[in-house]
Each structure stands twice: as C-alpha cells, then as structure tokens.
Chain A
Amino acid sequence: MGASASIFSPVSVGKGLLLVVLPLLLQAGPGAAWVRIVDMALLYSMLAIGLNIVVGFAGLLDLGYIAFYATGAYLYALLDSMQFNLHWPLWATLPLSAALAGLFGLLLGAPTLRLRGDYLAIVTLGFGEIVRIFLNNLDTPFNLTNGPQGISLIDPIRLGNFTFSRPHHFAGLTLTGTQQYYYLFLATVIGMAWLATRLQHSRIGRAWAAIREDELAAAASGIAVRNYKLLAFSLGATCGGFAGALFAGFQGFVSPESFNLMESVMVLCMVVLGGMGNVNGVIFGAILLTVLPEALRMMGDWQLNHFGHIWIDPNDVRMLLFGGALILIMLYRPAGLLPSPAQRREWQKKLP
C-alpha cells in the first residue's frame, strides 16, 4: 500500500490538521449541533468498520448487527448509572462491554454459521429483534433494563479525573464536552481502522477473502471455514459492543428504540454504499449517511434565507430524498462509492 511511507507527505499532514481543527471550525461556523452530528458519524464509522469485517471481509450477511451495539450500550448503562447505583471505571466497563458483545456473537454464530447466505441474514435479523424485545420487556419480573423508558442518567465517560462531558481549558482554548468526545471517537476510529486494515492483509484476512470468494474451494485448501467465520462474526460483534459502550456514555441515555432493525439496515447501507471490503470506503459511507439526512434537515433554513418562505418542509421530504439517494447511488455505483479492488474486479467480471 505504501501508506506508511506517505504519512508525512504534505497532503497527509494537511488532512490530519483538518481533522484536528474540524470541531473548532464546526463550533465556530455551523454551530455546536454539527459537532454532535460528527460525533455520531464517528460512532457509526466504528459500527461500519465492525460490520465490514463480517459482511465485507468474510462475506456473511448480518441483518441484526445493531444487537451487539445494544449489548455494549446496555452493559455500560447498567454498570455506570443509577440503575443499580454502580459506577465502574471505564477500564473495566469498556472491555467488558466489548467482550460480552463478542461472546454474544460467538453464541449466535456457533449454531447458525453453517446456514446459507440469506438464511443467515434472516436468523441474524431474528436475533436482533429478539434482543430488542427482551430489552423492551425486561422490566418484569425484575427490573433489569427499565423497559421501554430505557436507562437515563448514565455516567459520562471518565478517564481518571478527566470527565469528557465537562468543558476543559487547553492552551487558551475551551473545549466543550462534544468536542472532547470528538477527539476520543476520532482516535478510536483511527485505531479500529488501522486494526481492520492490518487484519485484512494478514493470514486471517486472506482466509476470509478465500471463504467469501468460494467456500468450497477454501475448505478444500485447508482453511477451517467454520472457525474463521466465527472469528469474523465475534470480532465484528466486539467492535459493535465497544462502540455501544462509548455511545451510552456519550448519550447518557439508552432505550430499546435506538436499536431497532432500521438501525441495522442503516449500518449495512453504510457498508455497501461506501464500498464493501474497503475500510476507508465504509468510513466514508458512514459519514455520508449520517450527515446527509441532517444536511437535508437544514434545507428549511436555506429556503427561508433565500426565498423568505418554506416551499418544501424538509422534515416531510428528507427521508424521501434519502431513499432516492440510496437508489441512485447504487444504480450508478453498484460496487459502492469507494469499492475495494477485489469488489471492483468481481463486479466487472460479472458484466456480460
């Protein structure tokens, strides 16, 4: 790839600087709400990186991925809130959330991974719904999840004495909570992306690619198909759990409605639309699909400024336009916006 050699090139340094000052620019320009939107985009990037391991690398269609996000978020919420009056430190909660989600991935994967592609999809979808329904109803017989109301007043993320939700002063600058979360999430996304890319080019990644291209041939070449699929599944789930814990701390509130099927579908859209198998592509997809609906929301102000009158209420049509955008992008870029070279080859091979 040669990426390591070019890391100090002017372009890379410029991009890095832009990433560092982005929250300051957003705060000064469009406003604090946009810092928050970018924070969410980074959380979705983590999910997209995780799901990409399952869908893009190993070729397993998972429609219940958000269940692992929910697992991480709820474990964090239970261990760091007034629900049971527990306030565990981050270094315990975060690995536990990721590990529990990974374990769930293993438990779901072990009996189901021998199913064919679309059957696996529906089983994972069912699993996602089961998790959500349990979260919704586990306020009886004993109150674990607080039911549909969800758990509120979750502790913000704390590292030692540093509380991320409180403003701090650095070198004459005051950083707000959302801006500090931005840097935490950015660092996490960069770390995850680095790990995922290294995985992709390792022996494990090549085994996944072999399974994705032709399971039978992979098995015949001595690849333990089942184990590698399980590994992909639980690694993806681990990323989801990790992101979920960060989400719970960031948001301060979790409820079952944040983890419905539509969320799973959205993350899948990010992966496919960005370009399956390409880590940069799926991050791009995540950012695009988080920012696009919010940008469409801003149309109302824009109309008001330019025409002095709202012709089309953005709240009514923004999801309509969003659906249309999904279709148009796929029609013109069927392999995604930034496809991995393997995906592009595969697609061109199939053209008659």
Chain B
Amino acid sequence: MSILLQQLVNGLVLGSVYALVALGYTMVYGILGLINFAHGDVTMIGAMVALTSITALSGHLPWPAAVALGLIAAIAVCMVLGYFIERLAYRPLRHAPRLAPLITAIGVSIILQNLAMLIWGRQYLAFPALLPQTWFDIDGARITGIQLAILGIALTLMLILDFLVRHTRLGRAMRATAQSPQLAGLMGINANQIISVTFLIGSALAAVAGLMVSAYYGLAHYYMGFLLGLKAFSAAVLGGIGQLRGAILGGLLLGVIESLGAGYIGVLTHGLLGSNYQDVFAFFVLIIVLMVRPSGLLGKPATDRA
C-alpha cells in the first residue's frame, strides 16, 4: 500500500509539471492551430536561467530570496523569448500552408538547444543544494517538501489560469480569438495582441515548470526540453488539445500512469520487462485513449475542416 501511495504522489508531482508545460502547448494550439515545437526548449531555457541565477545568488542571500529572484529571472527571460519567437517565426506565416510554421518551430527549437549548449556547455548542471530537506511520512510513503511545494504552486497557477480564462475580459477575448480570429477582430478584439499575451502566459508557465523540474531532479541539461516537451504535448493531446482543463487532466494522468507503470511493469510481466519501458507505457496509453476517444478525453468531437 505504501508503495502505491508513494508512486501516486511521485506521479502527481511529475504530472503537475507536465500539466504546466502542456498548458502552453494547448493554449497556443487552441488559438493558432499550431504545434509550438519550441515550447519544450523554452522550458529548458527557463530551467537553465533559474539554475544559474540561483547558484550565483545562493552565497549572498537566504534561500527563499535566491529562489524567488531566480524564478523571476527565468520568467522574464522566457517571456521575452516567447514573445519574439511568435513575432519572428510564427506571425509572418499565419496565412502560409499549415506545415510551414511547424518547420520554423523546429528551426527555433534547434536554435534554442544549440544556443543553450554554447552558453551552458554539454554537461549536466547540478541544482545547488540549498533547499531544506524536509519530508513527511504518511503510511510509509515519503513526501518531500519540494514535492509539496511543486504540487501546491502548480495547482495554484492552474486555478488562477482557469479563473483568468473563464471569468475575465482577457479570458473572454482569448476564447473569442480561439473560436475565430476574424470575428473576434470585428468585435473590437486585437487578435495579434491576444496571441502575444497567450505566448507570454505560456512561456511564464514554462519557466516555472523548468525551475520545478531542475529543482526536483537536481539537474538541468541543454537537451532536457525535448523529452519534457514531447511528454507535455502528449498530455495536451491526451486531455483534448485546445482544452485548458484537458491539458491539466492529461498532464496529471500521464504523470501518474508513467509512475505507476514504471513501478509495476516488472511485477505485471513477472520481471520480463523493466522500468526502462516507462516511456513506452505513456505513449501506449496515449494511442489507446485516442483510438477510443479520437478527440482526447475532454475534447469535443470535431471534423478536420477549419
């Protein structure tokens, strides 16, 4: 029982990070219909900036201040990055063939990875050991303070975003733009501005997720955004792409499935398959869910016609 609880908690923590990144994918997809391939790498940049600034500040400031300043730096860098990526690589191609912006997104992703490699090198960077190592034992499962903090912050951000999109003027404008940029324009909404805001919000969430991942695993690497982005995008699709609550559900679900899968696959197959099949598990569930519900868990059935 304690193993199950432990895996559930680990899965929820991992899943809430996936969900934060998935929100960025799903918001952009909801409005532009574009897979923002570079989003995972924006997350990576967030992790790198946070890690280096926290390392630099850790000697001079108490740890909460260092972490907070590192987070602010990461958010600022990622927001600037997200804004310019949209302006330079996606906006000029808004009326181009559908796959053209996908290729520029791949180009941006390659650039960000190699830029990070030039700046921070090829080696793994270690997160400074300054966070207090506290934990709670519940029924034999160990829940660390970092895990609790990640869960708490992620859930708070999700609630704020959900409120923002559902109950504010900005959120209404975002939803209107997602339905039809032209019609939203006729209602006096500046669609370009809304799209920029969407990228800013998504990038800020990515920065937070980046800090969380590097603090949780204690590592950051220029290539980490790739798999993280892949999983997060899968989570967004799993929940029904374009749906905010879908991305949250998909992220949490994917995290839990992965964690339980990795924990139990050995027992289930009598030791035939090991936890190195963890990633297979996630994609397998994704394929099965999409076969049963082709628009994702919370997605509305839709046709291919734009």
Q: Which of B13-21, B69-77, B105-113 contacts A (4 or more CB under 8 A)?
A: B105-113
Q: Which of A24-32, A111-119, A178-186, A187-195 contacts B (4 or more CB under 8 A)?
A: A111-119
Q: Is B1 an interface residue (CB 8 A)?
A: no
Q: Do B283 and A330 touch (CB < 8 A)?
A: no
Contact partner, A265, options B100, B106, B114, B117, Cβ 8 Å: B106
Tally inter-chain residue pairs, CB-CB below 8 A.
Answer: 143
Q: Is B302 an interface residue (CB 8 A)?
A: yes
Q: Do B95 and A352 touch (CB < 8 A)?
A: yes
Contact partner, A330, options B107, B296, B304, Cβ 8 Å: B107
Q: Is B57 an interface residue (CB 8 A)?
A: no
Q: Do A122 and B234 touch (CB < 8 A)?
A: yes
Provide the residues of chain A in CB contact with B226, threshold 8 Å: 261
Q: Is B115 an interface residue (CB 8 A)?
A: yes
Provide the residues of chain B in CB contact with A115, threshold 8 Å: 290, 294
* A245–B274 alpha-carbon span in the complex (Å): 30
Q: Is A171 an interface residue (CB 8 A)?
A: no
Nearest-CB residue, chain B, relative to A327: B107
Q: Is A126 an interface residue (CB 8 A)?
A: yes
The interface on chain B, measured as residues whose beta carbon lies within 8 A of the other chain's beta carbons, has a size of 53
Q: For chain A, which range describes its interface: under 10, 10 to 19, 20 to 34, or 35 or more residues? A: 35 or more
A125-B230, A335-B96, A347-B97 given as contacts; is B294 within 8 A of A114 (CB)?
A: yes
* A115–B241 alpha-carbon span in the complex (Å): 13
Provide the residues of chain A in CB contact with B4, threshold 8 Å: none
Provide the residues of chain B in CB contact with A319, threshold 8 Å: 110, 113-114
| Interface residues, chain A, with chain B CB atoms under 8 Å away | 55, 61, 111-112, 114-119, 121-123, 125-127, 129-130, 133-134, 136-137, 140-141, 214-216, 261, 265, 268-269, 272-273, 276, 316-317, 319-320, 322-327, 330-331, 334-335, 343, 346-347, 350-352
Supply 25 A–B pairs (Cβ within 8 Å), ascending by A: A111-B291, A112-B287, A116-B302, A116-B304, A122-B237, A123-B287, A127-B287, A129-B279, A137-B277, A216-B303, A268-B103, A272-B102, A276-B99, A316-B114, A316-B117, A316-B118, A319-B110, A319-B114, A323-B109, A330-B93, A330-B100, A330-B101, A330-B107, A335-B97, A350-B96
**In the complex, given contacts A129-B280, A316-B117, A317-B118, what are 19 additional A-B residue pairs having Cβ atoms less than 8 angstroms apart?**
A115-B294, A118-B35, A122-B237, A127-B287, A133-B277, A216-B305, A272-B99, A272-B102, A273-B103, A276-B99, A317-B114, A327-B88, A327-B108, A330-B103, A330-B104, A335-B96, A346-B97, A347-B97, A350-B97
